[in-house]
Amino acid sequence: MERHPSVKTVSYERDYDPYSIKRDKELEDFFNEADINVRTFGTHVLYEPTQVLEKNGGVAPLTYQGFLKVVNKLGKPGFPIPPPTKLPGFFDLQKILNCNEGIEFAGPNKTFDVPAIQELGFETPLYRSPHHGGESVALQMLDKYFLDKTKVLTFEKPNTSPAAFDPASTTVLSPYVKYGCLSVRLFYQRLMDIYRNQSHSKPPVSLEGQLFWREFYYTAGYATPNFHRMEGNPICLQTNWRLKEKDDVDEEASKHLEAWRDGTTGFPWIDAIMNQLRQEGWIHHLARHSVACFLTRGDLYISWERGAEIFEYLLLDADYFLNFGNWLWLSASAFFHQYFRVYSPIAFPKKYDPEGNFVRKYVPQLSQFPKKYIYEPWKAPLEVQRKANCIIGKDYPKPIVEHDVIV
């Protein structure tokens, strides 16, 4: 790295995961060495983990209610900072940096365009997600969702359907918050604008509560060494999962993991969710619950770390703290311990989508199946399967395990 003579100050946003902490520390050492001022800000959270820890005697609250008590003591979160009225453009930058030659980081068109994925050396992806990035898109989505004030005021997560699509039942703003297209502080203030003088749902299930869940995991994850692993993680239950290590040799478990990832478990609800995830990069929170429970304690008994790795790769909104925190939760390894509350891949979706429309969309082989068998097609008589143009075991897989007889 080299210092450009006109650079006097560098500003950046503080980050809290182990990779970012290490990276920022190295950069800061370099800047100090080069006599460059460093200014950092912590505004992509409502409360910085350090603040919460300090208020709670140096330890992270491990229950949501405990977390709420601490942030109540901290008072209202900070306001978003208004956007700058003016930013230097390309030619200004050239002037400021006093360089005449084309700046290589301006891209092939010298316009700071986002390069195509192929230019970065990746293959053309199999799927094209319907979710598009950017701040303008995020703000439009926020406006649109907030048009229905009753929906916002009465929002209760367990009452939003994981089977809804076009439109989804929740905001789908998580990828934008993750990448900084939408400030969580702006989201919070816009929400407060609607809450003001109105009765509204409350945490943990409310929309406000969802933002606090994010904060909860940030604090817990920041305070916990090896948060993303079982080994060496002091809050994680030590369990003898299958595929506990990435390179463990267990042929059957590896096949099960692939089937889970590829949506070929033979459980339509699970497969539909995983297909939506691979194709679109976003799935509803309760859909995440369903497949995470299925992979770990519910059915396949495979390590939550394997699931978290796949989620991290496939999710547009993958966030270190939220992803690993939720996997700890769903596998009943930390935060949540009522292992006997297992999501059924049959009974659970029936509550939200008795017609099976979600399955029909994301597992098209089953689109003609009668609703009676849509979540357990292996039970359909052969005559029914023929009529639906889908023979189980040929056109769609038989279930890889029996849900009821997991030990």
343 in contact with DNA (CB under 7 A): yes
The interface region with DNA, picked from 122-130, 142-150, 231-239, 392-400 by CB under 7 A, is: 231-239
Q: Taking the CB of residue 37, how many other CB atoms lie within 10 A of it?
A: 11
Identify the residue among 190, 289, 306, 360 touching DNA (CB under 7 A): 289
Identify the residue among 30, 146, 195, 336 touching DNA (CB under 7 A): 336
CB 326 within 8 A of CB 292: yes
Identify the residue among 4, 22, 144, 351 touching DNA (CB under 7 A): 351
195 in contact with DNA (CB under 7 A): no
Q: Copy the structure tokens of residue 181.
A: 């297209």
- DSSP state string for 158-170: GGS-TT--SS-SS
344 in contact with DNA (CB under 7 A): yes
3-state DSSP call for residue 184? Answer: helix
x-marked contacts with DNA along 6-45 as a string, rule CB under 7 A: ----------------------------------------
The Cα 335–Cα 342 span in angstroms is: 16
Q: What is the DSSP letter of 15?
A: -
Cβ burial of 377 (10 Å; 0-12, 13-18, 19+) is buried
Closest CA to 66 of 77, 76, 75, 55: 55
Q: What is the DSSP letter of 16?
A: -
The Cα 320–Cα 311 span in angstroms is: 11
The interface region with DNA, picked from 18-26, 132-140, 144-152, 205-213 by CB under 7 A, is: 205-213
103 in contact with DNA (CB under 7 A): no
- 340 labeled part of a ligand binding site: no
Q: Which of residues 301-330 bind DNA (CB under 7 A)?
A: 326, 329
Identify the residue among 9, 65, 100, 109 touching DNA (CB under 7 A): 65
74 in contact with DNA (CB under 7 A): no
Measured from the CB atom, the residue of 138 and 286 that comes closer to DNA is 286
| Residue 379 CA: distances (Å) to CA of 213, 375, 391, 403 | 39, 9, 11, 13
The interface region with DNA, picked from 65-73, 107-115, 170-178, 189-197 by CB under 7 A, is: 65-73
The Cα 282–Cα 285 span in angstroms is: 9
The Cα 86–Cα 112 span in angstroms is: 17
Measured from the CB atom, the residue of 259 and 287 that comes closer to DNA is 287
- 43 labeled part of a ligand binding site: no
Which stretches of the chain bind DNA, using CB under 7 A? 61-66, 69, 156-158, 204-205, 209, 213, 235, 237, 239, 285-286, 289, 297, 326, 329, 335-344, 346-348, 351
- Going by the annotation, the residues of the binding site are 170-174, 210-217, 317-319
- Going by the annotation, the residues of the binding site for FAD are 170-174, 210-217, 317-319
